[in-house]
Amino acid sequence: MDAILLQILNGLDKGSAYALIALGLTLIFGTLGVVNFAHGALFMIGAFCSVTLQRILTLSVETIDETKKDFLGNPLKVKTPYVEQWFGPETGQAIIDWSVPLAILFAIPVMLLIGFIMERGLIKHFYKRPHADQILVTFGLAIVLQEVVKYFYGANPIPTPAPQAFVGSFDFAPLLGLDTSLAYPYWRLVYFGFSTLIIAAVFAFLQFTTFGMVVRAGMADRETVGLLGIDIDRRFTIMFGIAAAVAGLAGVMYAPINSPNYHMGMDFLVLSFVVVVVGGMGSLPGAVLAGFLLGILESLASMNEIKSIIYGIDQIIIYVVAIVILLVRPRGLMGRRGVMEE
Amino acid sequence: MFGLEKRDTLLLGVVVVLTLFAPFILNPFPADSGLAQFNAGYPDLMQRFVIFGIFAIGFNILFGLTGYLSFGHAAFLGVGSYSAVWMFKLLSYNVVPALVLAVIMAGLFSALIGFISLRRSGIYFSILTLAFAQMSFNLAYSVLTPITNGETGLQIYTSDPQYLQSVDAPSFPNLFGAAMNSSTTLFFGGWTFTFSVGYYFCAIFLILAFYLAIRIFRSPFGMMLRAVKSNQQRMNYTGLNTRPYTLAAFVISGMYAGLAGGLLAAMDPLAGAERMQWTASGEVVLMTILGGAGTLIGPVLGAGFIKYFENIFAKINDNVLHGWFAFMPDGIEDAMVAIIHPFVGKGWHLTLGLLFMLVVIFLPGGLVEGGQRLGRVFRRKDKNAGSVEADAAQRRSEAAE
């Protein structure tokens, strides 16, 4: 029983990453009608925002420390990060330690900007082209972004630690009155909370603001909204930026869980597409639901008890489920009628 | 000839000549000249040209004719490779049973995947095939390790049974004794030409594959596939079930991919899971698009183009670049090298991605359309010139009056 609980918990963090990426994909698809194969690359760029901020914060000035000598009696050169010099050693150290959460602030403008440039510079020209062209051009863009990151950061994963305060695990067992331990890393809890927050924020934004109302109206009937004298294109561009930011933020906070490498975007992309299709193309709640569902399912399937019945099921379970759902319920779990039916 | 129209016979003739004389055509530079690095006339690369040409021709039958964009065709290539290597392991190094099984297995596999995926169209179809390909990759990479030998890749060991292998037969894939890696070399002046058995074996398959593709393109069946592309809904409304046609196209292209995979294994008896990865599927899509989807010659051109530049770009390093720009002043030379450096050598994928985007944005019809546009520009110029002269003559006559 506790093993199952643990696996469900384990599935939550991966599931939240899927849900966030799939949410962005669905937002873009629902508003602009474009299938964005470069969305995984945006997730990856978000993760590298963490890496970049960490590197910026640890930029160091080299000073000669007269009080310390090496074994030859020469004064020792000491590297001090600029932030430590400016804010004092303790505050500076704390800032460096908290670089990943701080990267959220850094990533939001960066991702919004990347989103705007992508939409205005490239995707805008592809609204009237067939879906195959949209898929192909964003696929090319994904390769380019991935290779650019590889050129600047190398091919190896770059460890990006979480703040010291979140190292260690939280034991769920006493809470649930279980005898055995049910340890779950703090950072994963934070990640889950963070993604729930973002998902809630996106839904609240769409549901309770005038801007969100117009966007929803535009998703339902773009032409009519345009005829009412609303510049729907501009709002959709902003939504693309927001979707990019959502994917980016998912990446920023994911960096401590999995050291970022240049192909992590592609790995997540395929699964996120499956998530979108299972949830139902164009349905935001569907994307979130399917994201968590598939994440949990994947980690349940990786339990030894299940793997011993069907060997290797954890590797293919998501695809099998997706295929079955598409055959039984072609519109996806919560797909709307009339969205990409043909 | 061969049931073809005149234009198609000409096209087939061009392909036959190009493939049969490739060792000469692709080796324009003498072996000891500085330009020899641009030669492509060695067996390994020429084999890849024709094999991926076959793969792209097959993909084009599906994508070019029906418009169904599959992102999972590399899976069939992988299935072909694995089954060919298994035939080498179990029977003998003879390539005939290997290729036969490769095509049959890929056909069965694609019939299964096609049957499910073709229930949906558009983006759903692309995503379904993508999911299937990724699933096959995962299966081959880890789950089915007893069959695929997982990460290491499937290869042939001396302990393999090889029930039909005779003692005096070569211990390399061969066609009734003619080993695929054997070749003869012709020295002519400064040039070195290599004629390899493996290359000509593949070339014959390319010609056959191309001929079959022409026949399919020109048949009523091909017409039907085109109709599916232009308006499937209307076809359905006229009471016609299009699925058997699309499924047939899917299976045919899957069998082409299986043949290509089998040939890959015949040239080098190895099969690895990385052949099935979805980036490999993306590559064949690019080949087809780059050459020109829906055209006959396009995919072959695209495959040759990409494999050639992949090979050449990967060989260029900083020293070569410095050699090229040596005539420039030092500062500019270094700057040029620094600018080009990210795009060559290990950065080939960056160039590939950029190329992909540029082709889709500016030249959706691929190289073939580019050539046609270029031709039209020249022709129009001639016409304009004529009309200008006519205008001038008219004006002169008016002035005279």
Tens of pLDDT, residue by residue over A193-213, are 999 999 999 999 999 999 999
Domain presence at residue A249: yes
The answer to whether the CB atoms of B119 and A311 lie below 8 A apart is: no
Contacts of B132 in chain A (CB under 8 A): 319, 323
Secondary structure of chain B in HEC code, one letter for each residue: CCCCCHHHHHHHHHHHHHHHCHHHHCCCCCCCCHHHHHCCCCHHHHHHHHHHHHHHHHHHHHHHHHCCCCCCCHHHHHHHHHHHHHHHHHCCCEHHHHHHHHHHHHHHHHHHHHHHHCCCCHHHHHHHHHHHHHHHHHHHHHHCHHHHCCCCCEECCCCCCCCCCCCCCCCCCEECCEECCCEEEEEECCEEEEEEHHHHHHHHHHHHHHHHHHHHHHCHHHHHHHHHHHCHHHHHHCCCCCHHHHHHHHHHHHHHHHHHHHHHHHHCCEECHHHHCHHHHHHHHHHHHHHCCCCCCHHHHHHHHHHHHHHHHHHCCHHHHHHHCCCCCHHHHHHHHHHHHHHCHHHHHHHHHHHHHHHHHHCCCHHHHHHHHHHHHHHHHHHHHHHHHHHHHHHHHHHHC
Check the CA dihedral A121-A124-A126-A131 and report its sign.
positive
Q: Which of A105-119, B26-40, B132-146, B373-387 has the lowest mean pLDDT?
A: B373-387
The pTM of this model reads 0.85
Above 50 in pLDDT, residue A342?
no
Report the distance separating Cα A75 and Cα A73, nearest Å: 6
B280 contacts on A by Cβ (under 8 Å)? none
User: Looking at the predicted structure, is the pLDDT value of residue B207 above 90?
Assistant: yes
Q: What is the CATH number of the domain that holds A135?
A: 1.10.3470
Closest residue on chain A to B278 (Cα): A270
Percent above pLDDT 70 for chain A: 95
B357 touches chain A (CB under 8 A): yes
User: How high is the pLDDT of residue B394?
Assistant: 65
Q: Inter-chain contact B127–A342, Cβ cutoff 8 Å? A: no
**Residues B305-317: pLDDT tens digits?**
888 888 887 777 7
Range of the domain at A223: 2-58+102-328
- Does A164 reside within a domain? yes
pLDDT at B350: 86
Q: Per-residue pLDDT tens for A229-269?
A: 888 888 889 999 999 999 999 999 888 888 888 888 887 88
Q: Is B360 on the interface with A (CB under 8 A)?
A: yes
Residue entry with tokens 């020249």: B378
Residues B358-365, mean pLDDT to the nearest whole number: 85
Contact of B113 with chain A, judged by CB distance below 8 Å, is answered with no
Residue B393 confidence class, pLDDT cut points 50, 70, 90: low
Closest among B135, B96, B153 to A319, alpha carbons compared: B135
Where are the strands (E) in A31-175, listed by range? 60-69, 75-81, 169-171
Note the pLDDT of residue B386: 52
A142: chain B residues, CB-CB within 8 Å: 353
- Smallest CA–CA distance, residue B192 to chain A, in Å, is 37
Of residues B116, B282, B360, nearest to A323 (C-beta): B116
pLDDT tens sequence across A266-284: 878 888 888 888 888 778 8
**Residue A87 in domain:** no
Average pLDDT over residues B228-250: 90
Q: Which residue of B132, B350, B369 to mutate against A (max A Cβ within 10 Å)?
A: B350
| pLDDT at position A340 over 60 | no
Instruction: Report which of residues A169 and B55 the model is more confident about.
Output: B55
Contact criterion met (CB < 8 Å) for A135 and B121: no
By Cβ distance, the residue of A140, A266, A327 closest to B360 is A140
* Whether residue A303 has pLDDT greater than 90: no
The A-side interface with B (CB below 8 A) comprises: 35, 122, 125, 129-133, 135-137, 139-144, 146-148, 151, 266, 270, 273-274, 276-277, 281, 311-312, 315-316, 319-320, 322-323, 326-327, 330, 340, 342
The domain total for chain A is 1
Asked whether residue A112 is domain-assigned, the answer is: yes
CB contact under 8 A, B143 and A274: no
* CB within 8 Å: B357 and A144: yes
What's the burial of A67, exposed, middle or buried (CB within 10 Å: 0-12/13-18/19+)? Answer: exposed
- Chain A residues inside the 8 Å CB shell of B124: 277, 281, 326, 330, 340
Work out the angle at residue A339's Cα, subtended by the Cα atoms of residues B130 and A36, and round it to the nearest 5 degrees: 45
What pLDDT, on the 0 to 100 scale, is given for residue B184? 79
- Give me the residues of B, 149-208, that contact A with CB < 8 A: none
Q: Is B122 on the interface with A (CB under 8 A)?
A: yes
In a domain, A339, yes or no: no
Q: Label residue B23 exposed, middle or buried (CB < 10 Å: 0-12, 13-18, 19+).
A: buried
* Over residues B213-232, mean pLDDT: 90
Residue A180 lies in a domain: yes
Nearest-angstrom CA–CA distance, A213 and A93:
44
**Chain A partners within 8 Å of B127 (Cβ):** 273-274, 276-277
The alpha-carbon gap from B138 to the nearest alpha carbon of chain A, in Å, equals 6
Q: Domains (ranges, CATH) in chain B?
A: 6-297 (1.10.3470)
Question: For residue A283, which amino acid is it?
Answer: S
Q: Do B127 and A139 touch (CB under 8 A)?
A: no
Q: In chain B, which residues have their Cβ closer than 8 Å to the Cβ of A122? A: 357, 361
Is the confidence metric ipTM above 0.85 for this complex?
no
pLDDT higher than threshold 90 for residue A221: no
pLDDT digits (tens, 9 = 90+) for A5-51: 888 888 888 889 899 999 999 888 888 888 888 999 999 999 999 99
Distance from CA of B7 to the nearest CA of A (A): 30
Residue B392's pLDDT is what? 59
pLDDT digits (tens, 9 = 90+) for B260-317: 999 999 888 888 888 888 778 888 988 898 888 888 889 999 999 888 888 887 777 7
Which is more confident, A69 or A110? A110
A82 domain residue, yes or no:
no
The shortest C-alpha distance from B174 to chain A (Å) reads 36
**Partner residue opposite B347 with nearest CB, options A147, A315, A320:** A147
Q: Choose among A129, A136, A143: nearest Cβ to B349.
A: A143
Question: What local confidence, expressed as pLDDT, does residue B383 receive?
Answer: 53
* Subunit contact A135:B126, Cβ cutoff 8 A: yes
H/E stretch holding A332: none
Which tokens belong to B361?
Answer: 């944005």
Question: According to the model, what pLDDT value does residue A337 have?
Answer: 64
The partner residue sitting opposite A327, judged by closest CB among B119, B285, B289, is B119
